[in-house]
Every structure is written in C-alpha cells, then in structure tokens.
C-alpha cells in the first residue's frame, strides 16, 4: 500500500515552479525558526525557564527544516531507494520533539498576571 503511494507520487508530473516554492518556503521557515530560537534564548535570562523551552522547541523546528535539505541531498545521491524510504520514516521526529518542548514550556509558565506596585493588576 505504502509503496504504491510512493510510486504514484514519483510518476506525477510536477509544475515547473514546485522546486522553487518548496526551497523558498524551507529557507524562509528555517530563517524564521532561527530568529525565534535566537530571540527565545536571549529572552530566557529575563523571563525565566519557560522561554528557554520555547527556544528549544524553535531549535527542533529549525532542525526539521535542515532535515529536509539533508533528506533531499541523500535521496539524490543514494542509489538504494529502500535506504531513502527508511530515512523518510523519521521525517516527523523533530516536530514531535518540538511539540514536547513547547508543552513543557507551557507547563512551566507561572504567574500569569503581574501586579503593579499599587496593588492593581496589569494586563
């Protein structure tokens, strides 16, 4: 069943803009997660442990984008398609790790409202 899906996808005729859109979105997404990770680690000192977990989550999603580039290069250079499919089984690993880190970050959030010196709550 799965091999027939891969065969059908391999026989599809892709539009000429497809590789440009995929590469462009991977680059923009990777750059965005790189900025998010840098800002998260920079803010972690001031805001505590929770932003650090979100920054680690951003690093996991940055690695997810890098993984697609590695997978493409490996797929082009590898002659044995079984090895390529075996590597593709782990394509969602960094997304799952990023989700776990984000969940931990949300669980570690504390003090949802800050009180002003006069006792009034700030939004």
Between the CA of residue 116 and those of 47, 48, 110, 123, what are the distances in Å?
Answer: 17, 19, 17, 10
- Tens-digit pLDDT profile for residues 1-23: 556 666 766 677 888 898 899 88
Residue with tokens 């091999």: 3
**pLDDT tier for residue 99 given thresholds of 50, 70 and 90:** very high
Mean pLDDT of 25-47: 90
What is the pTM (predicted TM-score) of this model? 0.73
Q: How far apart are CA 4 and CA 114, in angstroms?
A: 57
- Tens-digit pLDDT profile for residues 61-74: 999 999 988 888 88
28-42, 52-66, 77-91: range with lowest mean pLDDT: 77-91
pLDDT at 32 over 60: yes
């Amino acid at each position: 069943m799965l091999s027939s899906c891969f065969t059908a996808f391999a026989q599809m005729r892709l539009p000429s803009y497809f590789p440009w859109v995929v590469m462009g979105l991977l680059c923009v997404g990777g750059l965005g997660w790189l900025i998010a990770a840098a800002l998260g680690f920079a803010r972690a000192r001031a805001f505590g442990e929770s932003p650090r977990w979100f920054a680690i989550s951003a690093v996991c999603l940055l690695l997810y984008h890098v993984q697609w580039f590695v997978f493409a290069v490996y797929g082009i250079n590898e002659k044995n398609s079984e090895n390529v499919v075996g590597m593709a089984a782990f394509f969602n690993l960094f997304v799952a790790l990023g989700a776990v880190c984000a969940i931990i970050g949300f669980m570690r959030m504390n003090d949802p409202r800050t009180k002003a010196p006069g006792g009034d709550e700030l939004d």
